[in-house]
Structure 1
Amino acid sequence: MANFSWLLLLGFLTFSLSYASAQELISDPVSYDVLVFEHFEKGKTYFIRKGGRIKYRLYNSPKTTYKGELQKVNRESMIVDGREIPLKDCSLIAGRVRSPKEFQGAILLGMGAGVIPLSAALLGVNSIAGPIVIVGGVVVLTVGIIRSMSARKFKMTKGWAAYGGQLQFDRSYQKQ
C-alpha cells in the first residue's frame, strides 16, 4: 500500500509540474521581400532575399555586369544600391539563392566539423579506424561546403521569369 501511495504522489507531482510549466503559444508572422525566379517548363522556383548581394546585366549593355545589394523588391522592379531597375530590362540576374540544398549543406557541414575532432580524440590516429573516419569527415565537410554555397545565374533568355514577391510564414514560439 505504501508503494501505491508513493506512485500516486509521484504521478500527481509530475502532472502538476507539466501543468505549471505549460506556456502560451505566441504567433509571430514574418514576411520577407524576395526576388522570385521561376522556370515554368522545368517547374523550378528559387528566391533571393532582400539584403542579398546580386549581379545583373541589362539588355541594352550586355557586356557590363553590375553588382550591388538588393535593397527593395517591387512586383516589376528592384532597387539595387539606390537605383531602380525594371526586371523586364534585365537579361541576367545572379545571386545566392535559398533552397533545400543549402539546408542540407549546412547539416553536412556541421556533421563533418563534429566528426573530425571526435574521431581524432576517441579513435586516435594510430589505429586503422581513426584515419578512415577522419578522411570520411573531411569528405562530408567538403560536400557540405559545396552544397551550402548556392549561387545561381538566371538568364531571362533561357526561360526564367523574375518578379518581386513576399515570402510569408508564421514562426510560433512559447511565451517565456
Structure 2
Amino acid sequence: MNATRFFYLLMLLASIITTTNAQSKYFTRTGTVIFDAEGKLDDIEEIKAKNTSATCVLDAATGQMEWAVTMSKFAFANSLMQKHFNENYVESEKYPKASFKGKINDISKVNFDKDGTYPVGVTGTMTLHGVTKEVNVKGVITVEKGKILVNSGFDIPLKDYKIDIPTVVFVKIAESAKVTVSAALEILNGK
C-alpha cells in the first residue's frame, strides 16, 4: 500500500470514529424533574413542584451523564409555597442550580441502536443547596425510534442537604422528598 492510500485510509477511519463519537452523545434542555415533599398530614395542601427545563447530557459510549436544574424554575400550584421554597428552603438566589454528575454503571447492557427498555444503575454526585453527596439510584433507559428516554425516581433526605424544616411546619413537609426525573434525549449535533 502506498503512502497516499494509507493516508486516505487513516482519514476515512478518523472520520468514521469522529462521526460515531458525535452520535453517541445525547442531550435535552427540556427534562422534567418533579419534587414531592408532602408531609404526614393528608388534609394539608400538597407540597409538589414541577420543573420542565432541566438540562441533561448523556455520553452513550462511556455512560457519563450530567444534569443541571435551575431551582427557581420549579412551579408550585400555590405561589406562596413557591416563594417559601425559593427563599427559605433551597435559597435559590444563593444556590441557583442543583446538579448531578455521574455514570451509568452497566452501560454495556444498553443497546442504543435497538428499541427496548433497559434497567440501569447510576452512581455519581448530586449537589443541592451547596452540599455535594454521593448517590446511587436505579433508572430505566428506553430506546424508541432513535430517541433515548431516561427515567428515575429516588428520595432525597432534606437534612442531608442542609435544608431545614421549621418545627411549625414539620408535619406538613416530609423529611425526604420524592424526586422523579425524566427526559427525552436527542443526538447532540455539536451546535
TM-score, L = length of structure 2: 0.27
More strand by share: 2
More helix by share: 1
Higher-Rg member (1/2): 1
Q: Larger relative CO (CA 8 A, sep 6+): 1 or 2?
A: 1
